Amino acid sequence: MSSVAITKDTYLMWYELMLLMRRFEEKTGQLYGQQKIRGFCHLYIGQEAVLAGAVSALRHEDSMITTYRDHAHALAKGTSPGAIMAEMYGKATGISKGKGGSMHMFDKENHFYGGHGIVGGQIPLGAGIAFAEKFKGTDNLNVCYMGDGAVRQGALGETFNMAALWKLPVIFVCENNGYAMGTSVARSTADIDIYKLGLPYGIPSSAVDGMDPVAVHNAMDEAAQRARAGEGPTFLEMRTYRFKGHSMSDPQKYRTKEEVESYKAKDPIEIVKQEIEKNGYADEKWFEEIAAKIKGQVDEAVKFAEESPWPEASELYTDVYVQSDYPYIRES
């Protein structure tokens, strides 16, 4: 039973947040094509309901850690769009001072801990953050996101065992968008029901419709209640879909246009919009105002990134070690 009610305000928040993610990522794709953003870049378009449904069931103090497909997670946790865009530009005003780029964003104030380029590398780290919360005696939890390809890493089994043994307050979420880069789950997985990987460890595990924020909200809320009650981890397989390629360099030859279009018909933003209209939660003027507001936010983020300074060369030697006078830092 959900402890956090889904109300009119929830639907309005979902729509606005998902539209911000979508427009921000669309602009990111355009800027990448213009070579304003360089390096690797992975868009979240299509998967927005996984985050919208999560934040409505969680507290701001709950932390998140994720993969390199991380722009939308930072937005969902409250990071400034300008700081995210500046980070992708490599500017000094970026959320990681321009040193992380698209794949390595951190925002300690908003309890967002990356942004990890090593596939599956964030899984044990998520459990470690949860261990810290338990050790400190808080009732905060960690949500540890991973892709369907990351569940093949050996660290998953090791982490699941420790998290279950120590009853850590962590929600493991597999964002199963059907493809690990260009390899379908069916080609790489003996059992395509990924959620079953948690069952041998005694972890409550289930599959969730990741295109539906209501289903995501309810599953996350139940998992959060368990974590806060000291009952340990939960593993949720969010079955979702990315409308774009794995990265900006992906030619997408491994799937048909018909398959992509069939999932676009389940676009979570359009489904939430229809629900808002059906229930009379908002009129067309509200949708127009939200669209204009978000366009303004994205345009302002780009302007901020464009006008921000590049990092000084001396920044190469900062943020390397916690100890400022560590002996292996080169003297100027």
What confidence tens digit (pLDDT) does each residue in 214-263 have? 999 999 999 999 999 999 999 999 999 999 999 998 899 999 999 999 99
pLDDT, position 329: 63
Among the listed residues 24, 164, 184, 21, the one whose alpha carbon sits nearest the alpha carbon of residue 88: 24
pLDDT at 192 over 80: yes
pLDDT at 1 over 70: no
Please, what is the end-to-end C-alpha distance for the chain in angstroms? Answer: 60
Band of pLDDT at residue 188, cut at 50, 70 and 90: confident
Q: What is the DSSP string of 247-296?
A: STT---TTS-HHHHHHHHTT-HHHHHHHHHHHTTS--HHHHHHHHHHHHH
Distance of alpha carbon 323 from alpha carbon 326, whole angstroms: 5
**How, if at all, do strands 179-180 and 183-184 pair?**
antiparallel
User: Cβ–Cβ contacts within 10 Å for residue 313, how many?
Assistant: 7
pLDDT at 330 over 70: no
pLDDT at 320 over 70: yes
The three-class DSSP label of residue 239 is strand
Query: Token digits for 36?
Result: 């304003």
Average pLDDT of span 157-170: 98
Query: Token digits for 317?
Result: 């030697």
pLDDT at 158 over 80: yes
pLDDT, position 4: 87
pLDDT, position 331: 59
Among the listed residues 90, 66, 49, 63, the one whose alpha carbon sits nearest the alpha carbon of residue 168: 63
248 burial class (0-12, 13-18, 19+ CB within 10 angstroms)? middle
The three-class DSSP label of residue 129 is helix
H/E element, 304: helix 284-307
pTM of structure? 0.95
Average pLDDT of span 271-282: 97
Distance of alpha carbon 106 from alpha carbon 151, whole angstroms: 23
Q: What tens digit of pLDDT does each residue of 18-64 get?
A: 999 999 999 999 999 999 999 999 999 999 999 999 999 999 999 99
Query: Token digits for 331?
Result: 């003297």
Average pLDDT of span 8-14: 98
| Alpha carbon separation from 3 to 62, 95, 218, 331 (Å, rounded) | 16, 33, 9, 56
Q: What tens digit of pLDDT does each residue of 105-139 get?
A: 999 999 999 999 999 999 999 999 999 999 999 99
